[in-house]
Amino acid sequence: MSTDTTSLGQHGNSAAHGTAHGAHGAEHKEIEGGEVFTHLISELGDHHELNIFFGHFDVLPIILIDDGVHFYPNTHAMEEAGAYTLHHPQAPHKLVSTTKVDAAGMPAKPTLDMSITNLVAYQFLAVAIITTILLVIRGKYKKTPLAAPTGLQNVMELLVVYVRDQVVRPNVGTDKRTERLMPYFTALFFFILVLNLIGLLPGAHAATGALGVTAALAITSFLITNYIAIKDAGIGSWAHHLLGGAPIFLAPIMLPIEIISLFTKPFALMIRLFANMTAGHIVILSLLGLIFFFKSWGAVPVSVAFSLFIYMLELLVAFLQAYIFVTLTAVFVGLALGDHAKDDDHGAHAH
């Protein structure tokens, strides 16, 4: 439970208005030794400002639910208001209240932070890019429906057909089910791919390198997998599938194992995407950090050469991880359907 404290309020307001200058000055303080790597790695996290092309733009709105709804157009406006701050000395780089403390006596966090952060902005950007591309291609198809696709239209059609014929159809079983699931699988593939590619832009971050993003994607995979299994195979078949094909008297042993397996699949999807997209960025930042760590021109050619090599690998990984996530989701759908994979729905199987 939070309690108001006048002293903390006065101290927090001074942090909001006075410490900002100190924090700004600290940003220009020379970073030495091992601090180089710590600073670079910290830049991979989420922020309340838009970071792209090595620019820092204080344009993202702050939306807090805490004794009502508090809206600020950006962090500067929030600091000016004085109720919340990102520069409290007891909670640096964390959004906390300037007038409340928690049970431990530390500055209290707002009840719910609904702010548009850096990584959320990247997700909006990815949705806007995908929507724009699809609208342009749709216009071309409507204008010349019988013409052979060219350029970007050809590339998108190639990717969609590949996902349909080589990923979804072989795993989910039937053409009818494939057509039903294609909107989800294509949206999933392009969303992950575009987020991965945005993360390769200079000064940008990979939203798929955040556990919150990969967890949300894994949850959608979990829900789709079990929804299709229950709808097409029936609740009885889905429940029987939890036995793993074993006799009913082995249920006390098999049921816990299969339930754990049910949740480890999306967990594996979450960790796989997060780890692979984060690892490459950490390696690149570490290689570039060697230049500032040794402060020698001799380290520049080696660091830049290896960084470019890893960057090319990251470009491959961007496509590969989108493909793997979609493929594993399709495989999980097929496994959940079991013997019913070749049936369009439960009713057809019963007939």
Helix locations, 210-337, DSSP H:
211-228, 235-241, 251-294, 299-337
Query: Residue 320, class by beta-carbon neighbours within 10 Å (0-12 exposed, 13-18 middle, 19+ buried)?
Result: middle
Residue 242 scores a pLDDT above 80: no
What is the predicted pLDDT for the residue at 4? 39
Q: Could you write out the three-class secondary structure of 171-236? A: HHCCHHHHHHHHHHHHHHHHHHHHHHHHCCCCCCCCHHHCHHHHHHHHHHHHHHHHHHHHHHHCHH
Q: What percent of the chain has pLDDT over 70?
A: 83
Higher pLDDT, 59 or 250: 59
What is the predicted pLDDT for the residue at 32? 59
What is the predicted pLDDT for the residue at 248? 77
What is the predicted pLDDT for the residue at 41? 65
Residue 241 scores a pLDDT above 80: no
What tens digit of pLDDT does each residue of 137-185 get? 999 888 888 888 888 889 999 999 999 999 999 999 888 999 999 999 9
What is the predicted pLDDT for the residue at 39? 63
Under the banding of pLDDT at 50, 70 and 90, the label for residue 24 is very low
What tens digit of pLDDT does each residue of 305-333 get? 999 999 999 999 999 999 999 999 999 99
Residue 28 scores a pLDDT above 60: no
Residue whose token pair is 């806007």: 128
What is the predicted pLDDT for the residue at 338? 76
What is the predicted pLDDT for the residue at 46? 84
Residue 279 scores a pLDDT above 70: yes
Let me know how long the chain is. Answer: 351
What is the predicted pLDDT for the residue at 19? 39
Residue 67 scores a pLDDT above 90: no
Residue range 97-101: mean pLDDT, rounded: 90
Residue 277 scores a pLDDT above 60: yes
Residue range 193-200: mean pLDDT, rounded: 94
Residue 72 scores a pLDDT above 90: yes
What is the predicted pLDDT for the residue at 26? 40
The C-alpha atoms of residue 243 and residue 230 are separated, in whole angstroms, by: 15
What is the predicted pLDDT for the residue at 150? 83
What is the predicted pLDDT for the residue at 267? 96
What is the predicted pLDDT for the residue at 166? 94
Residue range 221-228: mean pLDDT, rounded: 94
107 close to 11: Cβ distance less than 8 angstroms: no
At residue 101, φ and ψ (nearest 5 deg) are -125, 155
Residue 8 scores a pLDDT above 50: no
| Lowest mean pLDDT, pick from 4-18, 105-119, 225-239, 247-261 | 4-18
Higher pLDDT, 293 or 128: 128
Sheet holding 69-72, edge to edge: 69-72, 62-65, 112-113
- Share the mean pLDDT of the chain: 83
DSSP 8-state secondary structure symbol assigned to residue 58: -
Cβ partners under 8 Å of residue 239, min gap 6 = none
Under the banding of pLDDT at 50, 70 and 90, the label for residue 344 is low
| Lowest mean pLDDT, pick from 35-39, 46-50, 60-64, 160-164 | 35-39
3-state secondary structure of 107: strand
Residue range 224-252: mean pLDDT, rounded: 81
Under the banding of pLDDT at 50, 70 and 90, the label for residue 345 is low
Higher pLDDT, 295 or 25: 295
Q: Which residue type occupies 103?
A: A
- Give, rounded to a whole angstrom, the gap between the first and last alpha carbons of the chain: 59
